[in-house]
Structures are given as C-alpha cells and as structure tokens.
Amino acid sequence: MSIDVTRNGAILEVTINRPKANAIDASTSREMSSVFDSFMRDPDLRVAILTGAGAKFFSAGWDLGAANEGESFESDYGVGGFGGISELKYRPKPVIAAINGMAVGGGFEIALAADLIVAAEHAEFFLPETTLGLIADNATIRLPRVLPPNIAREMLISGRRMSASEAQNWGIVNQVTTSDDLMPAARRLAEKICLSAPLSVAAVLELMRELETVSTGDAMKVLRENLTYRSAIESQDATEGTKAFAEKRAPKWQGK
C-alpha cells in the first residue's frame, strides 16, 4: 500500500506515503480512488482528510519515474481520476486537504479538487508542467476559477511558486497553521462539519458544483428542481434541526 488510511469516528484520514516526495503513479491513484469511492458510500463516515507523510512534500504529483518507465498520463488512474478525487462523480461528502509541504503539479491539482484546504505555513503550491513540456490539465480548468486570470496564467505557464499565506490571501487556502497544528486544525474543521446535517452538506456540495456554470437568473430554478436539495429540506433531519434549536439542544442527525 502507498497510502495509510485511518478511521477516526466519522472522519477518515488518508495519508499519501511514498518517500521521498509522495509522487503518485497509476497504482497509487487507483488505491486512492478506491478509498475515496468507498468513503463517499460509507454511511458512518462524514468527512475525509487527505495529507502527505513527512514535512517536505504533500505530493510531487505524477510520478515521473514511472513515466520514464513507460507509464502514460492517459493510464487508468481509477474511478476518481488522478489522486482519487479530481474526477470522482459521486461526492456528497467534503474532503479536506491538509497540505503538509510542497504541493507540486498533480499534487496541487489534487488540493484544488478538495473542498477545503488547511496548509502548514511552510507549504508551497506550484505547477512546473510547462517547464517539462507538459500541461497541468486539471489545473488549467480549476485554477482560473479560483484565481484572477493573470495570476492563474502566470502559475500555469511559468511554474512560479505560491506560498501558503499568499494562497490564503487569494482564497485558495482556508487556514494556515504551524506544522504541529496542521492535522489538529484539519480535524477541528472536520469535527465542525460533522455538526451539520449530512443531507444538507451533500446538497450544498452538489448544488455548488451544478450551479458553477449556470447564470444567476437560472440558478434558483435549477436549485428548486434539484432532487438532493428537495430531499434535504423535506427530510426528517430538517424537522429535527428546527426542533432541536427550539428546545435548545444539539440535533440528532439520522441522515434521512
């Protein structure tokens, strides 16, 4: 196994563990895809945290050693695409990327595919693909959606590095922490999410993805017709949430 998986109550912790740089080959990506697909379908799990082993690399991205041995960038990376989440279709639960070091190339793309990012203060993000004659395909799609076009363009075509603090200023990173507090901070965020109703969380995540390319004028119509949205607002949990608020107690979510 190239990844370590730990269940911590309703939280799943996934650690990329491939010394020296946590680079990901096709086999590792398929492992990650299987883990994240199972996580999304497990009713007892609510949030996943993805991090890397060590303090230097979150992930160096695509394993160029494997590429030199003949592995193609069009290899089978599993149902979730490269890194297990970048193309995973069924995603009703959030994934938090805990960036413990450099997120390089495909490693940065995996972070961008996560729902939330917590980064250690020494972490860096960069895309060296064009300097290698390659293209960061997933980042070419995602990065211009979270950064001003000129900043995204600079990162994509020059390989320039972005610090954790700058990434937070641009809104890519939710929180910057010390190295020692990285995983505790990610766990605190995960635990906070676990206090929310699971159906509501799933609906918000799905709607944000679905409405990403919908005009403001059409968005409300699409929202009202979304089945996940309807299921959430008509659920037993919706009744329980308002009842618990009135009774000044913590809600007991059933996920139905």
Task: Tell me what the mean pLDDT of segment 197-208 comes to.
Answer: 94
- 119 and 101 share one domain: yes
Q: Which domain holds residue 127?
A: 3-194
Tokens describing residue 48? 């996943």
DSSP conformation class of 17 = -
CATH number at 137 reads 3.90.226.10
Residue 254 lies in a domain: no
In a domain, 256, yes or no: no
Place of tokens 């009774």: 247
Q: How far is CA 15 from CA 11, 28, 148, 153, in A?
A: 13, 11, 31, 30
From 194, 223, 238, the end of a domain falls on 194
Q: What is the per-residue pLDDT for 100?
A: 98
Coil/strand/helix, residue 55:
coil
Which of 169, 194, 219 is the last residue in one of the domains? 194
pLDDT, average across residues 186-212: 94
**CA-based end-to-end distance of the chain:** 35
Whether residue 107 is found in the same domain as residue 224: no
Q: What is the mean pLDDT of residues 198-202?
A: 95
- Domain membership flag for residue 253: no
What contacts 178, CB < 8 A, 6 or more positions away?
A: 120, 121
Q: Which of residues 194, 210, 236 is at a domain's end?
A: 194
Average pLDDT estimate for 166-181: 98
Q: Is residue 157 predicted with pLDDT exceeding 90? A: yes
Q: Are 146 and 139 in contact (CB under 8 A)?
A: no
The dihedral formed by the CA atoms of 130, 136, 139 and 141, expressed in degrees to the nearest 10: 100
pTM for this model (two decimals) = 0.93
pLDDT at position 7, please? Answer: 97
In the block, tokens 């946590």 appear at 22
List of residues 6+ apart from 241 with CB closer than 8 A: 197, 251
Same domain assignment for residues 145 and 106: yes
71 and 167, same domain (yes or no): yes
CA distances from 115 to 1, 53, 201, 236 (A): 25, 20, 12, 26
Residues 6+ positions from 40 with CB-CB distance below 8 Å: 88, 90, 91, 92, 93
119 and 99 together in one domain: yes
pLDDT the model gives residue 215: 79
User: Could you tell me the two tokens for 191?
Assistant: 């635990």
And the tokens for 241? 């949430």
Domain count, the chain: 2
Strands 102-104 and 124-126 come out as parallel
Is the domain of 87 the same as that of 207? no
**Is the residue at 175 inside a domain?**
yes
- Tell me whether residue 63 is in a domain: yes
| Catalytic residue numbers, as ranges | 109, 129
**Chain segment 43-100, per-residue pLDDT in tens:** 999 999 999 999 999 999 988 777 667 666 678 899 999 999 999 999 999 999 999 9
Domain identity same for 86 and 121: yes
Which tens digit of pLDDT belongs to each residue from 110-125? 999 999 999 999 999 9
> Which residues does residue 15 pair with via DSSP β-bridges, in sequence order?
4, 51
CA dihedral 34, 38, 39, 42 (to 10 degrees): -170
Per-residue confidence (pLDDT) for residue 136, from 0 to 100: 92
Residue matched to tokens 């949205």: 229
Sheet hosting strand 116-120, strand order edge to edge: 3-8, 11-16, 47-52, 95-99, 116-120, 175-177
Res 70: pLDDT: 64
